[in-house]
Amino acid sequence: MDASPNRTHELKSTFGTLPNYLTLLRIILVPIFVLFLLKQKVTEALAVFLLAGLTDVLDGLIARAWHQRSVAGLWLDPLADKLLIFTSFFLLSFSEYAFPNKIPWAVFWIVLGRDALIVIGAFLLIILKKKHNFPPTLIGKTSTVCQVLTATAVLFLNFLKVKSGLLSWLYDLTILATIISGLQYIWLGWSSWRKAGTEIDN
């Protein structure tokens, strides 16, 4: 993305795009999803979760195809994704709202811990080193896919009322991808920190 001042201003002024509206819809769907799960309406919760996932796919495709990427979208899109993942993982870790399958608490805390470290690191880079571009890596995208698949699988199997031991493999894969991507982001953040410090010194 062109980071020139004129281009940044142009992107900021184009908030009213279809991808951004789809992202806002995904954010709105999160409390609806939560409400259905709290009321133990698994069918409706699954439908809302799948609809939210569809908006995620569509906003990315439209943004690329119609060249409607914006600065607002760069921040809103991952925010919407994390809200959906965190709320689904949190609630699906309670047997009251997730039966016969529930996500182990270890998976939730590892996912939350990794993203908390990323947010803290990004905040420090923005404030102290004036870095504003944090593109996702392939491993990072892979970990997100694993997390979405985990929530989808648990919701779907609970909808079918089928308890499956195969989910343990998906939990392990999600943990592995999350940890590896976290270590990669830590390395990239540290490298950016050192590079920015070198440029300032020069």
Q: Give the containing element (helix H, strand E) for 121.
A: helix 105-129
Q: How confident is the model at residue 108 (pLDDT cuts 50, 70, 90)?
A: very high
Same domain, 101 and 182: yes
Residue percentage of the chain with pLDDT more than 70: 81
Q: Are residues 178 and 109 in the same domain?
A: yes
Domain count of the fold of the chain: 2
pLDDT of residue 10 exceeding 70, the answer is: no
30, 87 contact by CB (below 8 A): yes
Domain that holds residue 10: 1-82
* Domain shared by 57 and 126, yes or no: no
Burial call 177-191: b when 16+ CB within 10 Å, e when fewer: bbeebbeebeebbee
What is the phi-psi region of residue 86: left when phi exceeds 0, alpha when psi lies from -120 to 50, beta otherwise?
alpha
The answer, yes or no, to whether the previous bond of 100 is cis (omega within 30 of 0) is yes
Domain end, chosen from 30, 55, 82, is at: 82
Is 9 in the same domain as 64?
A: yes
